[in-house]
Amino acid sequence: MSTEIGVWIAALLTLAIYSFLYKDNPFYKVAENIFVGVSAGYWAVVLWFNYAWPNLFEPLIMRGNFIYLIPIIVGLMMFAPLIPKVSWLIRIPLTFTMGVAMALVILQRIQGEIFPQLQATFLPLIGVSPMQTISNLLIIFGVISTLIYFYFSKAHKGVLGVFAKLGIWFMMVAFGASFGYTVMARISLLIGRVYFLLHNWLQLI
Amino acid sequence: MKQTIPLIIVFGFGFFVIIAFFIPLSAFQDASQTFETWYTGVIAFFVFIGIFNIVKVNASKIQRRLSDWQYSIILLIFLALMMAAGFIGGPNGGVFNYLFEHMQIPLGATMFSLLAFFVASAAFRAFRARTPEATLLLIAAVIVMIGRVPIGYYIWRGFPDVVEWMMNVPNTAAKRGILFGADLGLISMALRVLLGIERSYMGGGRE
Amino acid sequence: MKFLERLENLDRRILFLLVGLAVIIPLIFPLGLPVDITRPVKSVFDRVEELPEGAIVVVSCDYDPGSEAELTPATAAFVEHCFRRNLRVYMMGLWPAGPELGNLSLESIAPRYGKEYGVDYINIGYRPGGPVMLVSLGRNVADLVRADYAGVPIDSFPLGRALKSARDIDLVMTLSAGDPGVLHWIIYFSARYGTPIATATTAIMAPQQYPYLSSGQLVGLLGGLKGAAEYETLIEMKARAVAGMDSQSIVHLLLVVFIVIGNVILLYQKRRI
Task: Give the lowest-confidence range in B29-43, B65-79, C60-74, C164-178.
Answer: B29-43
The per-residue pLDDT for B3 is: 86
The per-residue pLDDT for B207 is: 45
Q: Following DSSP, what letter does each residue of C206-247 receive, concatenated? A: HHHHHHHHHTTSSS-EEEHHHHHHHHHHHTT---HHHHHHHH
Per-residue DSSP letter, B158: T
What are the φ/ψ torsions at residue B129 (nearest 5 degrees)? Answer: -85, 80
Strand partners, C93: C126
* Average pLDDT of the segment spanning C235-257: 93
Among C158, C144, C141, smallest CA distance to C193 is for C141
Contact B108 C97 (CB under 8 A): yes
Count of residues for chain C?
A: 273
Task: Give per-residue pLDDT as tens, C106-139.
Answer: 999 999 999 999 999 999 999 988 888 899 899 9
Question: Among partner residues B75, B176, B181, which is closest to A36 by beta-carbon distance?
Answer: B75
What are the φ/ψ torsions at residue B151 (nearest 5 degrees)? Answer: -65, -30
* Confidence tier at A10 by pLDDT (50, 70, 90): very high
* Confidence tier at B199 by pLDDT (50, 70, 90): confident
Question: Among partner residues C68, C99, C147, which is closest to A54 by beta-carbon distance?
Answer: C147
The answer to whether residue C272 scores a pLDDT higher than 80 is no
Mean pLDDT value across chain B = 90
Q: How far apart are CA C14 and CA C11, in angstroms?
A: 6
The answer to whether residue A65 scores a pLDDT higher than 50 is yes
Contact B117 C16 (CB under 8 A): yes
Q: Using alpha carbons, list the distances in angstroms from residue C232 to A163, C45, C75, C161, C228.
A: 43, 10, 10, 32, 6
Taking contacts as CB-CB distances below 8 angstroms, the residues of chain A near C149 are: 49-50
The answer to whether residue A191 scores a pLDDT higher than 70 is yes
Which run of H or of E encompasses B39? helix B26-63
Q: How far apart are CA C183 and CA C201, in angstroms?
A: 11
Among C11, C196, C243, smallest CA distance to A196 is for C243
Task: Give per-residue pLDDT as tens, C197-226.
Answer: 999 999 999 999 999 999 999 999 999 999
- Asked if residues C24 and C260 have their Cβ atoms less than 8 Å apart, the reply is no
Q: Using alpha carbons, list the distances in angstroms from residue B1 to A81, B11, B178, B194, C57.
A: 17, 15, 40, 18, 49
Q: Subunits touching B (CB < 8 Å, at least 3 pairs)?
A: A, C
The per-residue pLDDT for B204 is: 57
Q: Subunits touching A (CB < 8 Å, at least 3 pairs)?
A: B, C
Taking contacts as CB-CB distances below 8 angstroms, the residues of chain A near B159 are: none
Contact C203 A188 (CB under 8 A): yes
Q: How far apart are CA C145 and CA B204, in angstroms?
A: 36
List the 80-99 stretch of A: residues with Cβ below 8 A of B: 87-88, 90-99
What are the φ/ψ torsions at residue B43 (nearest 5 degrees)? Answer: -60, -35
Strand partners, C173: C59, C198
Among A182, A67, A95, A34, smallest CA distance to C207 is for A182
Q: How far apart are CA A182 and CA B127, in angstroms?
A: 13
Give the B:C interface size as CB pairs under 8 Å: 163
Strand partners, C130: none
Give the A:B interface size as CB pairs under 8 Å: 374
User: What is the pTM assigned to this prediction?
Assistant: 0.91
List the 35-54 stretch of C: residues with Cβ below 8 A of A: none
Q: How far apart are CA C261 and CA B107, in angstroms?
A: 33
Q: Which of B34, B172, B195 to mutate to test the interface with A (most CBs of A within 10 A)?
A: B172
**How many angstroms away from the CA of C193 is the closest CA of chain A?**
11
The per-residue pLDDT for B205 is: 47
Q: How far apart are CA B166 and CA B168, in angstroms?
A: 6
Which run of H or of E encompasses C57? strand C56-62
Q: Which residue of A has its CA nearest to C72?
A: A192
Contact A108 C207 (CB under 8 A): no
Per-residue DSSP letter, C64: -
Find all residues with CB under 8 Å of B22, minimum gap 6, and list them: none
Q: Which residue of A has its CA nearest to B189?
A: A102
Task: Give per-residue pLDDT as tens, B120-174.
Answer: 888 888 888 889 999 999 999 999 999 999 999 999 999 999 999 999 999 999 9
Contact B138 C19 (CB under 8 A): no
Among A202, C126, C240, A12, smallest CA distance to B102 is for A12
> At B40, which amino acid appears?
T
Contact C127 A193 (CB under 8 A): no
State the pairing for strand pair C197-201/C88-93: unpaired
Q: How far apart are CA C221 and CA C211, in angstroms?
A: 12
Task: Give per-residue pLDDT as tens, A134-179.
Answer: 999 999 999 999 999 998 888 888 999 999 999 999 999 999 999 9
**How many angstroms away from the CA of A72 is the closest CA of chain C?**
15
- Asked if residues C213 and C190 have their Cβ atoms less than 8 Å apart, the reply is no
Chain centre to alpha carbon of residue B25: 35
* Average pLDDT of the segment spanning B194-204: 84
The per-residue pLDDT for B206 is: 46
**How many angstroms away from the CA of B171 is the closest CA of chain C?**
7
Per-residue DSSP letter, A201: I
Q: How far apart are CA A91 and CA B42, in angstroms?
A: 12
List the 144-163 stretch of C: residues with Cβ below 8 A of B: 144, 149-151
| Cis, bond preceding C99 (omega within 30 deg of 0) | no
* Average pLDDT of the segment spanning C158-165: 94
* Confidence tier at C187 by pLDDT (50, 70, 90): very high
Count of residues for chain B?
A: 207
Quick one: CA dihedral A7, B113, C31, C224, positive or negative? Answer: negative
Output Rg (C-alpha) for chain C, integer angstroms: 22
Q: Which of C27, C135, C254 to mutate to test the interface with A (most CBs of A within 10 A)?
A: C27
* Average pLDDT of the segment spanning B65-77: 92
Task: Give per-residue pLDDT as tens, B177-188.
Answer: 999 999 999 999
